[in-house]
Amino acid sequence: MQTTDLFIKNMVCPRCIKVVKTTLETQHFTVQDIQLGKAVVEGTLTEQQLQQVALGLQAEGFLLIDDKKQQLIAGIKSIVVQTVHHSELDEMKENFSTLLAGKLQKDYHYLSNLFSETEGTTIEQYIIQQKIERVKELLVYNELSLSEISYKMGYSSVAHLSGQFKKVTGLTPSQFKQLKAPERIPLDKL
Given a cut of 90, is residue 183 above it in pLDDT? no
State yes or no: pLDDT of 92 exceeds 60: no
Mean pLDDT over 54-68 rounds to: 91
Given a cut of 90, whether residue 12 has pLDDT beyond it is no
Give residue 109's pLDDT. Answer: 96
Q: Are 139 and 175 in contact (CB under 8 A)?
A: no
pLDDT at 186 over 60: yes
pLDDT of residue 187: 61
CATH of domain 126-189: 1.10.10.60
Digit-coded pLDDT (tens) for 27-47: 999 999 999 889 999 999 999
Please indicate, yes or no, whether the overall pTM of this predicted structure exceeds 0.85.
Answer: no
Where do the structural domains in the chain lie, given as residue ranges?
3-66, 69-82+92-121, 126-189
Q: Phi and psi dihedrals of 155, rounded to 5?
A: -80, 150
Across the range 4-24, mean pLDDT stands at 91
pLDDT for 142 equals: 87
Q: What angle do CA 71, 76, 81 make, to 5 degrees?
A: 120
Query: In a 10 Å sphere around its CB, with 0-12 CB exposed, 13-18 middle and 19+ buried, how is residue 188 labelled?
Result: middle
Number of Cβ atoms within 10 Å of the Cβ of 87: 10
How many alpha carbons lie under 13 Å from residue 114 in its C-beta half-sphere? 19
Any idea which fold 3-66 has?
A: Alpha-Beta Plaits (3.30.70)
pLDDT of residue 162: 95
